[in-house]
Amino acid sequence: MTRLILATRNAGKIAELRAILSAADLPYELVGADEFPEIPDVKETGVTFAENALLKAHALARATGLPALADDSGLCVDVLGGAPGIFSARWAGTHGDDRANLDLLLAQLSDIDAPHRTAHFYCAVALALPDGTERVAEGRLLGTLRHTPSGTGGFGYDPVLQPLDDTRTCAELTREEKNAISHRGNAFQALLPHLRELLG
């Protein structure tokens, strides 16, 4: 079984991507970067989601000798000109503080009426092989932002993004429902042909 390493220590992302690969019936063993604690985190110095995903994937492929997957994703709010964007995970100043990020965003949008609360989750996912070969795919999930969080599933901004044509937030969807429509799910679906092409 081909081992793939995912450039994250986020247990939620690892579980989500394992489910996507399993549903696609791909015989790959997905491991997280937490299995290689000696490898330092890669600084996300890119100015786009794709650049950051490629930086992480190439660094991990070189360090481990394994095919590496990395994604960079975030929430893009139309009335904020696409922000938080690549700064989504550290919008409130501390990387990975989901609650603080969510609270700050909601405060910034407190006087914005429903018709203008359009937003989308965006994901760029990169595959890098140890020989330098690379592929990138992207995905989006369009929706609107609630005024208050709802739901206990998912992570990040899931409790406030309500997908178009649904009455629930992403945090109220089952994992299977979310994977079927999510930005990350869409990006990985777009990457599957490249995985089959390069890894068999």
Alpha-carbon distances, residue 178 vs 22, 43, 115 (angstroms):
15, 29, 24
Counting Cβ atoms within 10 Å, is residue 142 exposed (0-12), middle (13-18) or buried (19+)? middle
Which of the residues 25, 72, 131, 158 is marked catalytic? 72
Q: Which amino acid is at 167?
A: T
**Residue 118 and residue 152: Cα distance in Å, rounded?**
22
> Which stretch of DSSP H or E encloses residue 91?
none
Rounded distance between C-alpha atoms, residue 198 and residue 17, angstroms: 18
Which tokens belong to 194? 């490249």
41 is catalytic: no
Residues sharing a CB contact under 8 Å with residue 89, sequence separation 6 or more, in sequence order = 74, 95, 96, 101, 156
Amino acid letter, 79: V
What is the Cα–Cα distance from 187 to 6, expressed in whole angstroms? Answer: 14
Tell me the catalytic residues.
72
